Amino acid sequence: MNWQKIAEAIPRDAKNISQNAQVDSAQVCKLWNECAAKFLLDGAMRAHEAINFRDGVLTISVGDATYLDDIRHREYRVIRLINQALGATMVTNVKYK
């Protein structure tokens, strides 16, 4: 086994990769809040919050289940706007907690 080739395959700054992933997650969550405000009423906006994005799945925390159907009904419009803003199909699914 050639250790030199393995060393070349490992990123030199793995911490930077992790920070970039967190920035991407924060950016997607922020975009959700901005785009959702275009489609949802104030009550629904106050009842939920985007909390995480990983591997194409955006996790939304819903504090008041009364608005869950309204949020789900409009999620595809919001996802479309987010992906347009990012210039790629990053968000593929939404999970609710």
Distance set, CA 96 to CA 12, 61, 80, 93 (Å)? 36, 6, 18, 10
Q: pLDDT per residue over 39-88, tens digit each?
A: 999 999 999 999 999 989 999 999 999 999 999 999 999 999 999 998 88
Domain ranges of the chain: 17-96
pTM of the model: 0.74
Q: pLDDT per residue over 24-44, tens digit each?
A: 888 999 999 999 999 999 999
Give ∠ CA 84-15-13 in degrees, rounded to 5. Answer: 100
The Cα–Cα gap between 92 and 58 comes to 8
pLDDT band for position 7 (cuts 50, 70, 90)? low
Q: Does 18 have pLDDT greater than 60?
A: no
- Please give the backbone phi and psi of residue 49, each rounded to the nearest 5 degrees, phi first: -155, 135
Q: What is the CATH number of domain 17-96?
A: 3.30.300.180
Q: What angle in degrees, to the nearest 10, is found between the helix axes of 14-36 and 68-86?
A: 120
